């Protein structure tokens, strides 16, 4: 009996690779193969050898084939969603010259500030790219490499993002997409092309960069015979352009031109992100004004310190992550790795408001609250970037979709509900980044709109939790500490 067409969506994140084998007709996850990554670096350094990603992709696909029992001949397409912003530099043979600088490597903060000033300030950058250089952005990392390892920069024959590197290994063809390209700060969301003036400022030749496909679902080639042999898949299947992880999550949720527009999402992972798909081109220096994978826009704010930071506080207190209560008078800003939104790359954690009767459970609760207030304040800016008033009843009543690993934790969900006052949907679909990539693969294989495909899979649906009364006292207490502390956190 013949098997329904299967597509593979790859989520190559900071910590691991997941390969989601997905029924193309229904979106049912048949299996998810997994393989870990290794991140190295001390202080602000965060690096990974790109070959680790390729080896992990091979392992994850192999594990998914074994677990699912899928006939490889039924696989029709593959797409990669990767961690954004990472800088991969290759030699003429396509081999990495050094470990990739990851998105959460903060060493390039001085270069980000210098680049911002060199173009005339934040507004000048926003007008062109939709975003302002911060330590996370690829342009800042390239500038850091030029200054700190000029021999490697001079020897570079190709510059890639993480998902570009893997896509090129699959198809033998260099390509990127507007979504992930918009996180470089050398691609213009205003023109839909690389910006020649910014490339000149960075000393970066266009020939080093991959062509930009029309969308992340664009078929940019076919799986090569060599890659097919390594993966155990048939040669010639469709390879999509792919995209960045946040853009792919939006597709997986059915957000975009063929689905939901201006609906907010909060992703609770190593980082905390808030975003929404919109037709309005973002124009604020507070946010990253990204392009989406389907041709719309994806205003996004990212905080470096989310579940990982709170888990670290739990470890220090020798508590289970769920063994927490509201923080009382204690305020804890868990900026253990600097911060991105707000832009505080050299910040460290801050604890204030301790009393004699403050309990360990309250301290852990205060860490949740500090992380949640940081990301929820950014959510209001995302809504404004969509042309919406966050306080308007019809906007404030719009459900907040809560995704990522933290969305499976009771304390995270209840803290977000308490501090946002919004109805919350925890989508029933898992592995949304990989599922979004699977929809991009389906689009590449069939020509269908990937957002419409993902919307038909209904992974973004789930039970709606009613709003609870907003805890304005905690909101204002944490916000006041953040506003007062921000200047000192920069020193």
Q: Of 212, 246, 280, which residue is a domain's last?
A: 246
Q: Which domain holds residue 201?
A: 6-246
Same domain, 273 and 190: no
Give the number of domains in the chain: 2
Q: Which of 11, 23, 180, 245 is catalytic?
A: 245
Residue 286 has a pLDDT of: 83
Distance CA 139, CA 307 (A): 27
Average pLDDT over residues 174-199: 97
Q: Are residues 46 and 109 in the same domain?
A: yes
Residues 242 and 266 reside in one and the same domain: no
Q: Residue 349 is encoded by which pair of tokens?
A: 């954690």
**Are both 276 and 216 inside the same structural domain?**
no
Same domain, 226 and 179: yes
pLDDT at 2 over 70: no
Q: Check whether 85 is labelled as a binding-site residue.
A: yes
Q: How confident is the model at residue 491 (pLDDT cuts 50, 70, 90)?
A: very low
pTM over 0.85: yes
332 pLDDT more than 90: yes
Report the CATH number that the domain containing residue 226 is assigned in CATH.
3.30.420.40
Q: Give pLDDT, residue 1.
A: 38
In the predicted structure, residue 114 carries a pLDDT above the cut 70: yes
CA separation for the pair 217, 219 (Å, rounded): 6
The reply to whether 320 belongs to the active site is no
- Burial (Cβ within 10 Å: 0-12, 13-18, ≥19) of residue 473: exposed
Query: Is position 391 within any domain?
Result: yes
CA distance 4 to 25: 8
What pLDDT shows up at residue 199?
98
Contact 30, 438 (CB under 8 A): no
Q: Which among 216, 246, 276 is the end of a domain?
A: 246
Question: 446-479: per-residue pLDDT in tens?
Answer: 999 999 999 999 999 999 999 999 999 999 999 9
Taking only the tens place, the pLDDT of each residue in 19-55 is: 999 999 999 999 999 999 999 999 899 999 999 999 9
232: left (phi over 0), alpha (psi -120 to 50) or beta: left
Instruction: Give the separation between CA 318 and CA 309, rounded to whole angstroms.
Output: 14
28 and 166 belong to one structural domain: yes
Cβ 454 vs Cβ 439: under 8 Å: yes
Q: What is the mean pLDDT of the chain?
A: 95
Specify whether 264 is located in the same domain as 146: no
Q: Is 83 annotated as a binding residue?
A: no
- Mark whether 208 and 316 lie in a shared domain: no
């Amino acid at each position: 009996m013949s098997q329904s067409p299967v597509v593979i969506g790859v989520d190559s994140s900071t910590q691991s690779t997941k390969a989601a084998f997905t029924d193309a007709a229904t979106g049912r996850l048949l299996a998810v193969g997994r393989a870990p990554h290794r991140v190295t670096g001390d202080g602000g350094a965060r690096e990974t050898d790109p070959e680790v990603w390729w080896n992990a992709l091979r392992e994850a696909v192999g594990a998914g084939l074994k677990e699912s029992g899928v006939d490889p001949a039924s696989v029709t397409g593959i797409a990669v969603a990767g961690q954004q912003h990472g800088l991969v530099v290759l030699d003429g043979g396509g081999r990495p010259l050094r470990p990739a600088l990851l998105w959460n490597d903060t060493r390039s903060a001085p270069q980000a500030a210098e680049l911002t000033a060199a173009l005339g300030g934040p507004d000048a950058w926003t007008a062109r790219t939709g975003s302002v250089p911060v330590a996370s952005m690829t342009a800042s990392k390239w500038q850091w490499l030029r200054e700190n390892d000029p021999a490697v920069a001079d020897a570079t024959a190709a510059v890639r993002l993480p998902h570009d590197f893997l896509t090129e290994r699959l198809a033998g063809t260099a390509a990127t997409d507007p979504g992930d390209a918009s996180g470089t700060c050398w691609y213009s969301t205003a023109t839909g092309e690389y910006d020649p003036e910014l490339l000149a400022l960075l000393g970066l030749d266009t020939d080093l960069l991959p062509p930009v496909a029309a969308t992340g679902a664009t078929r940019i080639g076919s799986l090569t015979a060599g890659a097919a042999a390594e993966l155990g898949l048939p040669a010639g299947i469709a390879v999509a352009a792919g995209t960045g992880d946040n853009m792919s999550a939006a597709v997986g949720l059915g957000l975009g031109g063929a689905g939901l527009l201006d609906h907010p999402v909060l992703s609770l992972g190593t980082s905390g992100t808030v975003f929404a798909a919109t037709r309005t081109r973002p124009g604020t220096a507070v946010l990253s004004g990204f392009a989406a994978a389907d041709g719309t826009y994806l205003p996004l704010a990212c905080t470096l310190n989310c579940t990982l930071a709170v888990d670290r506080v739990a470890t220090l207190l020798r508590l289970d992550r769920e063994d927490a209560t509201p923080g009382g008078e204690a305020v804890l800003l868990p900026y253990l790795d600097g911060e991105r939104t707000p832009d505080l790359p050299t910040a460290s954690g801050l604890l204030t408001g301790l009393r004699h009767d403050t309990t360990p459970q309250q301290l852990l609760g205060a860490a949740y609250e500090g992380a949640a207030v940081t990301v929820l304040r950014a959510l209001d800016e995302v809504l404004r970037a969509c042309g919406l008033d966050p306080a308007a009843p019809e906007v404030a009543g719009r459900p907040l979709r809560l995704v990522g690993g933290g969305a499976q934790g009771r304390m995270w969900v209840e803290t977000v509900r308490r501090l946002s006052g919004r109805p919350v949907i925890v989508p029933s679909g898992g592995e949304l980044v990989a599922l979004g990539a699977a929809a991009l693969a389906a689009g590449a294989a069939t020509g269908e709109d990937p957002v419409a495909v993902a919307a038909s899979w209904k992974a973004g649906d789930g039970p709606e939790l009613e709003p609870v009364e907003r805890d304005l006292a905690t909101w204002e207490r944490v916000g006041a500490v953040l506003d007062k502390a921000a200047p000192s956190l920069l020193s």
